[in-house]
Amino acid sequence: MARLLARLAPLALGLLCAVGCGSPCQDLADRICNCQPAGTLRDNCKSSVKNQIDSAKPSSGDQSYCSDKLKTCPDPESTPSQCQVLETQAGKEACGLAFPL
C-alpha cells in the first residue's frame, strides 16, 4: 500500500497544483499525504506540496474545486480506512486524483 501511495503522491501533487492550489488545495493535498507512512515519506510529500503551492497563483475557481473535493475526500486521521479507499477508482475520484470513468 505504501508503494501505491508513493506513486500516487506525485500524481496528486501535479493534479492539485495544476488547478492552482489555494488554502483548500493545501488541505486536500495534506489529506492525501497523510496516507504516507509517518516520517520522511509523509514529510517530503507535504513539503513538496507546500513548495508547489507557494509558487502557484490560485484562482477562486481553483480554490472552489479543492473545497468541493474536501467535502468528498475524508481525512485519514479521522477516517482510518480512507487510505484503503483512496486506492479505488471511487476514492481517487472523491479526492480529485481521477476523473469519473
Total-model pTM: 0.73
Contact 34, 75 (CB under 8 A): yes
Residues contacting residue 52 through CB under 8 Å, at least 6 positions apart: 13, 16, 17, 21
Contact 33, 95 (CB under 8 A): no
Q: Which residue has the cell 490560485?
A: 58
pLDDT digit string, tens, across residues 42-85: 999 999 998 988 888 768 898 899 999 999 999 999 998 999 99
CA–CA distances in Å: residue 31 to residues 19, 88, 98, 101: 17, 16, 16, 23
pLDDT digit string, tens, across residues 25-38: 999 999 999 999 99
Cα atoms in the 13 Å half-sphere on the side-chain side of 39: 2
Which letter does DSSP use for residue 88 in this model?
A: S
